[in-house]
Every structure is written in structure tokens, then in C-alpha cells.
């Protein structure tokens, strides 16, 4: 029996194609070995506006996605005939106006077969799941209780790793350093990976990445001891071979340290001279500025405790060159195995080079940070990882010149000092917590200098800041007046005491022609110690000018402050709060969560307002978000506040 089939006529075919064009998901059809894009629908064109799409190779159409693994996925499907599936991949797409659109995509790429079963091309279909992904990320950020429950299931791992690994990385002149440590994907016990960065007395910096055999509390404990041995020897000025020999002797006495591997490199950021040894460990990856990445030759050093020597090789890094040290967890991911180590090494070099050059995801980080974060994300998100992964990157960069500020002795100039200091610290590479401490300390010292009398005809305050080779910022604030007690205000005189709590050291040197105050504070950037590769921090911008807003509160006065509360705005704050609380006779709640800078003058104003609320029926309640600038200062000065 023969069944007849009525083929659609031209009109029906056009209607069918119009229906396909209305499909609410992305469709891209590619043909031939060059994968020419021969068909797509409206949803696809909307994602790629302003592009010449049809008849061009997919590699050209989405060239801006080349470092994000999409182009490779299309060609892999055509080569192997096996489909590729991606779920909620974070993607950056360049727009016609030069901006970058971030979206999340879930997709499937399958082979396109002709009537004879031959491979004709590839078909990709995907959904824009950006809202779903962002909802998921927001829910994770808000559901802190659920995240804590998950972390508690591995409390031993987290506690051990955070205690035994460096709390932070030094911020050094001429060098940008970053590190990431990712715990194993499986629920294994604590691993034995570690990293360290040691600023040596001779001005050079030692970079260390190591791996103890096995998992569990024993492996982590031995890791901590090996790290301590190497750190002590390097800090004392020992050379590479001498430091590794000390660790080798320790491994010979402690069974659990046997066969631990280490890569130890010592770099002079000024000259670029690099010495290194690979003691049974994978060789460093060098990513030169503007050239292909390459692995440095191994030195044929042996694992610790196995009875060998530790030869040292030398290289020279040019300005802009980046060095990556890593553990083998990044190579031995599921699906790669030891037989695929070479392919994994090539993939690591390719992905790390793309991240360093900014060709992958467009995150606003330094090249060293991108290599440590994006390399993890791009390599791990497809197949996961079975072992802990450690990455340590260091890039030679131009040293930042000393900061010089000469300002008039006027309170209005204080905010300009804070912004210029913050910009300089950001250029140096300081983290938010150090910027906070130095901004407040220098603000207090500058306020004191401005309040001095200028008996010598020089009403200028001089501020100098520099970063030394050990990673310590030294700031001097110089005035040219004789000390005069300013008009007495309740609860003033806290500036120097507050400064001393914020920085490592404070020195005041009064002289015949003025006073020089010097603060010293070491800078450190936190390393990323991750349970998942997609953990992220939320950055909340601060207001630059003070605003005072009254909130609904019934019989209670409720006020929110946003911006800086310093010597220039403290009097306004005091007057407004007293006015709105009717001189302290009405209960008042003041929300300080949006305060970006709380100087001692602001603390004084709050004390005065608090003293006016002497009636228990009209209390003053100060509220500050946990970890906010205001909450940190209120804790330092002992002014009661709530985090509700």
C-alpha cells in the first residue's frame, strides 16, 4: 500500500518559516565544515543586534564569544557528531554601542544530518535564562541560613583551610598577585593543597604552591606545617634550594609529608629576574604580554622526602608578563585523567591566556585576578572537578608613584583628600578594608592639622603616601602651625585614638615649625577560598554627598543618613537630628547603614544627640548594617548600635 504525501506549496512553506521565526528561543543553523550560518530566527537576531549573520562562519559571527567556549562547542559537535549541552552559562556579548551585555544561556547543540545520514552541519538551540539565573543568585545571597547549613556539613574543611592558608596576599610595588583555592567537588575531607606569598627582606617575593598526598585532617595539618617551615626559611632570607631542603628534612621525619610536591619561585619585581624549582610539581605557566603562553621547563627536582636534590632554573619576566603556579587538580578534571594531561595542559594555557588578555569574560578585575577566577569558572563549569584546585598568579606591572597632596587648611578640602587617597590606593591595588582604614586615619589626621593655628604664615597641609617593598603604606601628614586647642566640643579629641586603632603604627613628631604625623599600614588582598566556583561578592556603591531623609515612623522619628559624616557635615547632622527629635523629647531611630565615612566629628555629633535623649521614654537607637563603615567605627568608639 502506497501512502501519498502532499508537500506544502510555496505559500504554506513561507507560513511555516514565519512560524519558525516566531519561536521564543534562540535557533542557529550552521552548514558545512566552516559552519556557515544559513538560518536563524528573530530571537537569535535580537541577541546579536546589528550583526551580519547569514552566510558567514559562526566563528566570525560570534567572534567576541571565542574565549567563552561557544565557538569550540559548535566545531566539536560537527567533528564528533556528539551533542553538547550547557546549563546557565554566563556569557558576555558585545553590543553595537560598545557596551557588553551579560546574559545566562541554557542550550543544546546537535549535529544536522542529511537524508543519507551524512553530517551536514550543526543546529544550536538555546534559552535566555538570565532572569532565572539572577533570581537563583539573588536567592542564594539572601538565603544565608541555607548556605550556612551547607557550609556546616563541611565545617572541618572550611575551618582548616581558612586557618592554615594565608589570610591575605601582600600588595607589593610593581607586582599584582592573586590566588584562588577551590575545594573538591565531591564531599571529600580537607585536601592538602596550599599556596603562599612571602615578601622577603631583600625586596624580592617568593611564590609557593604545594600539594600534600591524600585528604583529611592529617593532610591539612601536614600542609600547614610545611607551609610554616618554608615561610620561616624564606622570610629569614634562605635561597630556594636551602628552603626546600628544610622542608625535605621535615618530610623525612613526618610520614604524612612524604612525596609532597612544591613549586617555589622567587621574583624580583623591579628587574623581572625569576628563579624557580619544581620539586615533583607541575612547571609554572608563563603568559607573556602580547605573546603565546608557554610552560617553563621543569627543573627535575624530586618530591619532598624522597632523597633527591632541588635544582634551580632562571628566567626573566618583562613588564606585563604573568606567571601562574597551580596544583594538578586543574589538569586532572573528570574526563581528562592522567592520559589526557597533555590536552588538559594545552587547554589550561589557552584559557588562562584568554583570561589574562581580557578575551574571555569581561569582569573588571586585574589580569592576575581574572586568571585565578575565570580559569576556574571556564574549566570547571562543564565537567566539574574531583580534587582541590589552587591557582596563584603574579604579574609585573609599573610601580605606582608616590601620592602628593598639598591642600588648604579648610574643612571643605577633606572630601577631596579622601577621594584622591582612595583613587591612589585603588591604583596600588589595596583592598576595601585597607582603603577604609587609611581613609579614616588620614581624614582624622588631616582634620587635626586643619584645626591647628598657622603661626608661620603657611596655611597648607602636606600629605605624602608611598608603598614600600614589603607592602606597607606609609603616609605623612605635615602642618606648619603651632598646636592650638579647638573650640571645645563634647566627646571630641577622639581622632588620634581612633587612628591608632585603625592602622598598624602611629607616630606624632611636633617641631618648632609644625607637626609631622606618620602612619604605617600593611596592605593585603584576600585570596578567594571557595566552596563553589560561582561564589560571588555583592558590591554596594556609597553616596558621595550627605543626604538626610525622614522615614515613616508614626510617633517615632525615623531618619536615614547616606554619605560622609565628617568635619564638614557633622554640625548639620547634629542640628537636623535634634530638630527632628524635638530636642531629644521624641523617640528616634537613625539608620547609618548608608554612611560611607564616619569621622570623629560625626561620632561627637551622635554623642551630643544621644545625651539629649536622657528620658527613657524617648530613646535614641542607632542602626548600622553589619560590616558597614559606620558599624565598624561605632564598635571602635564603643557607641551602642543595633544591626537590625
Rounded CA separation 276/483 (Å): 54
Rounded CA separation 233/217 (Å): 25
118: burial class by Cβ within 10 Å (0-12, 13-18, 19+)? Answer: exposed
Kindly report the CATH number that applies to the domain delimited by 22-134: 3.30.450.20
pLDDT of residue 16: 61
Same topology, domains 22-134 and 539-637? Answer is no
Per-residue pLDDT of 344-386, as tens digits, reads 899 999 999 999 999 998 888 899 999 999 998 899 887 666 6
- pLDDT band at residue 27 under the 50/70/90 scheme: very high
List own/partner pairs for 547-553 with CB under 8 A and 24 or more apart. 548/572, 548/573, 548/576, 550/580, 551/591, 553/589
- Better pLDDT: 415 or 338: 415
- Better pLDDT: 221 or 512: 221
Half-sphere exposure of 331 (CA within 13 A, CB side): 19
Whole-Å CA distances, 612 to 599, 605, 609: 20, 11, 5
| CB distance 202 to 237 below 8 Å | yes
pLDDT of residue 122: 95
Per-residue pLDDT of 221-275, as tens digits, reads 888 899 999 999 999 999 999 999 999 999 999 998 999 999 999 999 999 999 9
- pLDDT band at residue 137 under the 50/70/90 scheme: confident
Least confident interval from 357-366, 434-443, 476-485: 476-485
Highest mean pLDDT among 37-46, 265-274, 408-417: 265-274
Residue ranges covered by each domain of the chain: 22-134, 155-396, 403-525, 539-637
H or E segment and range at residue 428: helix 414-428
Per-residue pLDDT of 149-197, as tens digits, reads 555 545 555 566 567 788 789 999 999 999 998 877 555 555 688 999 9
Helix then strand count (H, E) for the chain reads: 17, 27
* Superfamily of segment(s) 155-396: PPM-type phosphatase domain (3.60.40.10)
36: burial class by Cβ within 10 Å (0-12, 13-18, 19+)? Answer: middle
Pairing mode, strands 389-396 and 294-295: unpaired
Q: Which CATH number is 539-637's, of 3.30.365.10, 3.40.50.880, 3.30.750.24, 1.20.140.10?
A: 3.30.750.24
Q: Decide if pLDDT at 489 tops 60.
A: no
Among residues 393, 442, 482, 407, the alpha carbon closest in space to that of 600 is found at: 442
pLDDT of residue 94: 94
What are the strands of the beta sheet with 294-295, ordered from one edge?
A: 294-295, 285-287, 322-326, 389-396, 175-182, 528-530
Architecture of domain 403-525: 2-Layer Sandwich (3.30)
Least confident interval from 19-28, 378-387, 411-420: 378-387
| CB distance 604 to 494 below 8 Å | yes
Q: Decide if pLDDT at 515 tops 90.
A: no
pLDDT of residue 136: 84
Pairing mode, strands 588-598 and 620-623: parallel
What is the rounded average pLDDT of the residues 22-38? 91
Per-residue pLDDT of 66-84, as tens digits, reads 899 999 999 999 999 999 9
Amino acid at each position: 500500500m502506497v501512502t501519498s504525501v502532499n508537500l506544502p506549496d510555496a505559500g504554506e512553506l513561507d507560513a511555516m518559516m514565519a512560524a519558525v521565526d516566531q519561536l521564543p528561543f534562540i535557533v542557529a543553523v550552521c552548514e558545512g565544515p566552516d559552519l556557515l550560518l544559513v538560518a536563524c530566527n528573530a530571537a537569535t537576531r535580537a541577541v546579536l543586534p546589528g550583526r551580519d549573520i547569514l552566510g558567514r562562519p559562526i566563528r566570525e559571527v560570534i567572534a567576541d564569544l571565542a574565549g567563552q567556549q561557544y565557538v569550540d562547542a559548535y566545531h566539536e559537535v560537527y567533528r564528533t557528531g556528539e551533542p553538547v549541552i550547557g546549563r546557565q552559562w554566563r556569557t558576555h556579548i558585545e553590543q553595537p554601542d560598545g557596551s557588553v551585555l551579560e546574559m545566562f544561556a541554557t542550550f543544546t547543540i546537535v549535529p544536522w544530518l542529511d537524508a543519507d545520514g551524512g553530517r551536514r552541519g550543526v543546529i544550536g538551540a538555546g534559552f535566555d535564562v538570565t532572569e532565572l539565573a539572577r533570581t537563583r543568585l539573588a536567592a542564594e545571597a539572601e538565603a544565608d541560613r541555607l548556605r550556612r547549613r551547607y557550609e556546616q556539613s563541611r565545617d572541618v574543611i572550611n575551618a582548616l583551610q581558612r586557618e592554615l592558608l594565608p589570610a591575605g596576599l601582600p600588595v607589593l610595588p610593581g607586582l599584582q598577585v592573586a590566588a584562588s583555592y577551590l575545594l573538591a567537588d565531591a564531599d571529600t575531607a580537607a585536601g592538602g593543597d596550599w599556596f603562599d606569598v612571602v615578601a622577603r627582606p631583600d625586596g624580592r617575593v617568593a611564590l609557593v604552591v604545594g600539594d600534600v598526598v591524600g585528604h583529611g585532617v592529617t593532610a591539612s595539618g601536614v600542609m600547614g606545617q610545611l607551609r610554616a617551615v618554608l615561610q620561616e626559611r624564606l622570610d629569614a632570607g634562605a635561597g630556594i634550594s636551602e628552603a626546600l631542603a628544610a622542608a625535605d628534612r621535615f618530610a623525612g621525619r613526618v610520614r604524612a609529608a612524604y612525596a609532597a610536591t612544591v613549586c617555589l619561585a622567587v621574583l624580583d619585581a623591579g628587574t623581572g629576574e625569576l628563579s624557580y624549582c619544581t620539586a615533583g610539581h607541575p612547571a609554572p605557566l608563563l603568559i607573556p604580554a602580547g605573546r603565546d603562553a608557554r610552560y617553563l621547563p621543569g627543573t627535575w627536582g624530586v618530591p619532598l622526602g624522597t632523597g633527591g636534590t632541588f635544582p634551580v632554573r632562571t628566567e626573566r619576566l618583562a613588564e606585563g608578563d604573568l606567571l601562574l603556579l597551580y596544583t594538578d587538580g586543574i589538569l586532572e578534571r573528570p574526563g581528562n585523567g592522567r592520559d589526557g594531561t597533555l590536552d588538559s595542559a594545552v587547554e589550561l594555557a589557552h584559557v588562562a591566556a584568554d583570561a589574562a588578555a581580557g578575551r574571555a569574560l569581561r569582569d573588571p578585575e586585574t589580569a592576575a585576578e581574572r586568571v585565578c577566577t575565570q580559569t576556574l569558572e571556564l574549566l570547571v563549569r562543564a565537567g566539574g572537578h574531583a580534587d582541590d584546585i589552587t591557582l596563584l598568579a603574579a604579574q609585573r606591572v609599573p610601580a605606582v608613584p608616590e601620592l602628593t597632596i598639598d591642600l588648604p587648611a579648610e574643612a571643605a578640602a577633606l572630601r577631596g583628600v579622601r577621594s584622591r587617597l582612595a583613587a591612589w590606593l585603588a591604583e596600588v591595588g589595596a583592598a576595601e578594608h585597607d582603603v577604609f582604614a587609611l581613609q579614616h586615619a588620614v581624614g582624622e589626621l588631616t582634620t587635626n592639622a586643619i584645626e591647628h593655628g598657622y603661626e608661620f604664615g603657611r596655611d597648607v597641609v602636606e600629605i605624602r603616601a608611598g608603598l614600600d617593598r614589603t607592602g606597607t603604606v606609609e603616609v605623612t601628614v605635615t602642618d606648619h602651625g603651632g598646636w592650638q586647642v579647638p573650640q571645645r566640643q563634647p566627646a571630641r579629641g577622639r581622632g588620634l585614638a581612633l587612628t591608632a586603632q585603625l592602622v598598624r603604627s602611629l607616630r606624632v613628631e611636633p617641631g618648632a615649625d609644625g607637626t609631622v604625623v606618620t602612619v604605617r599600614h600593611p596592605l593585603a588582598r584576600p585570596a578567594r577560598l571557595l566552596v563553589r566556583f560561582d561564589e560571588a561578592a555583592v558590591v554596594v556603591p556609597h553616596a558621595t554627598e550627605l543626604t538626610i531623609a525622614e522615614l515613616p515612623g508614626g510617633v517615632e522619628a525615623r531618619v536615614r543618613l547616606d554619605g560622609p559624616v565628617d568635619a564638614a557635615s557633622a554640625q548639620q547632622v547634629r542640628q537636623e537630628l535634634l530638630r527632628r527629635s524635638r530636642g531629644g523629647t521624641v523617640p528616634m531611630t537613625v539608620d547609618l547603614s548608608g554612611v560611607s565615612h564616619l569621622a570623629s566629628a560625626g561620632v561627637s555629633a551622635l554623642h551630643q544627640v544621644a545625651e539629649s535623649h536622657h528620658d527613657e521614654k524617648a530613646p535614641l537607637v542607632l542602626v548600622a548594617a553589619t560590616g558597614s563603615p559606620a558599624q565598624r567605627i561605632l564598635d571602635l568608639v564603643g557607641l551602642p548600635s543595633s544591626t537590625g
